[in-house]
C-alpha cells in the first residue's frame, strides 16, 4: 500500500491494485503520515547548509477557492500552499509547511528552516514579498539573501488555456548580505516541485484526485517527503538525500518506513476473550 501511495497512485487506484479497503488505506496514510512528520521534526536538524532554496507549490482541497462556500471553507476547503526548503547541495528537503501563502505562514516556515540550520547560509527565493520580513526575522544578519524574479513573455498566437507562459529572463535582486551570483537559483526546489506532482496523485493537475480533507493532504505531504529524503535514491547523488546530508547511513526500505508507526495497543477485553476461547478449546 505504501509503495503505491509513494509512486503516484491515488487511494482508489491502490484499492483496486491491492484489494484492501479504502478505509484501511486512509487510516494507514493518516497514521504513517503523522509518524513521518514527527520523525522529520525530531531528526532533520543541526544541518550544515550552504545554499538554501525556497519555493511554494499550489494545490486545492475540495475545490478551488473561488468555488468554495463559507461552510466548506471552515472545513479546510480551498487553495492550499506547500512551502518547501531544499539544500541545493545534498537535495535534502529541510523543511515543509502546508497552509496559506500570507506573511504569517512565510514567517512560520522560515523560522522552522532557521531552527534546523547551523552556520551562515545563502538563501534564494522567488519574488514573493512575504519572504522579505520572514527571512530577516528568522536569520537576521546571519544569511546572504537574494530574490530571483522570473520574467514571462506575452502569450503566443497559438496560446491555449493551459499553455505555459514562456520565460524570457530573470531579475536578480540582492536583499541582504553578499550572496554569490553564481548560486542564486531556484532550479532545484522547482524541480523538486515537479517530483512532488509526479509522486503524489493529489497534486496532479486537471484530475479529480485532489484531496477532500486538509488533514489527509498534510499526511500525504509528510509521507512523500519522508520517502523522498530517506527511501528514494537520487539519480545524480546515487544515494538518498538523507545519506548525502549525513543524517542516515543507509537507504531506508518501505518496511523500515512502516516501523515509524506506533505499535497498536491490544485492548484488555480482547486479551481476555482470546484466553477464554483458548481455555474452552483446550477443555473440549
User: What pLDDT digit, counting tens, does each position of 249-278 carry?
Assistant: 999 999 999 999 987 765 556 666 676 677
Alpha-carbon distances of 126 from 57, 71, 129, 267, rounded to whole Å = 12, 33, 9, 52
pLDDT tens digit sequence for 145-165: 999 987 877 776 666 766 677
The stretches of the chain forming alpha helices (DSSP H) are 2-5, 11-18, 22-43, 70-74, 103-116, 130-139, 187-199, 214-226, 241-245, 254-258, 268-283
Q: Which residue has the higher pLDDT, 168 or 98?
A: 98
The 10s digit of each residue's pLDDT in 39-52 is 999 999 999 999 99
**Phi and psi for 82 in degrees, rounded to 5?**
-110, 115
Distance CA 48, CA 206 (A): 39
pLDDT at 130: 95
The per-residue pLDDT of the chain, averaged, comes to 91
pLDDT, tens only, 203-254: 998 899 999 999 999 999 999 999 999 999 999 999 999 999 999 999 999 9
Question: What average pLDDT does the segment 112-120 reach?
Answer: 96
Cell, residue 51? 545554499
Which band of pLDDT confidence, cut at 50, 70 and 90, is reported for residue 166? confident
- Predicted confidence at residue 268, as pLDDT, reads 58
- How many other C-beta atoms can be found within 10 angstroms of the C-beta atom of residue 167? 10
Look at residue 81 in the predicted model and tell me its pLDDT.
Answer: 97
Sheet with 121-125, strands from edge to edge, namely 93-99, 78-87, 51-61, 121-125, 143-152, 167-176
Over residues 112-129, mean pLDDT: 96
Residue 117, helix vs strand vs coil: strand
Specify the fold of 2-283: Nucleotidyltransferase; domain 5 (3.30.420)
Contacts of 86 (CB under 8 A, 6+ apart): 52, 53, 54, 92, 93, 94, 188, 189, 192
Distance CA 188, CA 190 (A): 5
Amino acid at each position: 500500500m505504501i509503495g503505491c501511495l509513494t509512486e503516484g497512485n491515488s487511494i482508489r487506484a491502490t484499492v483496486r491494485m491491492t484489494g484492501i479497503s479504502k478505509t484501511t488505506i486512509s487510516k494507514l496514510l493518516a497514521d504513517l503520515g503523522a509518524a513521518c512528520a514527527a520523525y522529520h521534526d525530531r531528526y532533520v536538524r543541526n544541518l550544515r547548509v550552504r545554499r538554501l532554496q525556497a519555493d511554494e507549490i499550489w494545490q486545492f482541497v475540495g475545490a478551488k477557492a473561488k468555488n468554495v462556500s463559507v461552510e466548506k471553507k471552515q472545513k479546510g476547503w480551498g487553495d492550499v500552499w506547500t512551502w518547501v526548503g531544499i539544500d541545493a547541495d545534498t537535495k535534502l528537503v529541510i523543511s515543509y509547511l502546508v497552509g496559506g501563502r500570507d506573511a504569517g505562514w512565510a514567517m512560520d516556515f522560515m523560522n522552522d528552516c532557521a531552527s534546523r540550520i547551523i552556520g551562515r547560509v545563502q538563501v534564494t527565493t522567488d519574488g514573493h514579498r512575504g519572504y522579505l520580513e520572514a527571512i530577516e526575522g528568522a536569520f537576521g544578519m546571519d544569511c546572504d539573501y537574494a530574490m530571483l524574479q522570473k520574467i514571462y513573455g506575452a502569450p503566443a498566437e497559438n496560446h491555449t488555456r493551459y499553455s505555459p507562459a514562456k520565460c524570457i529572463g530573470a531579475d536578480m535582486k540582492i536583499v541582504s548580505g553578499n550572496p554569490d551570483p553564481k548560486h542564486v537559483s531556484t532550479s532545484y526546489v522547482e524541480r523538486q516541485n515537479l517530483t512532488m506532482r509526479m509522486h503524489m496523485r493529489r497534486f496532479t493537475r486537471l484530475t479529480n484526485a485532489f484531496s477532500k480533507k486538509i488533514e489527509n493532504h498534510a499526511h500525504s505531504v509528510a509521507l512523500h517527503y519522508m520517502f523522498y529524503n530517506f527511501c528514494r535514491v537520487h539519480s545524480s547523488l546515487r544515494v538518498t538525500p538523507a545519506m548525502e546530508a549525513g543524517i542516515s547511513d543507509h537507504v531506508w526500505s518501505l518496511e523500515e518506513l512502516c516501523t515509524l508507526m506506533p505499535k497498536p495497543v491490544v485492548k484488555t477485553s480482547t486479551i481476555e476473550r482470546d484466553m477464554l476461547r483458548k481455555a474452552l478449546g483446550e477443555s473440549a
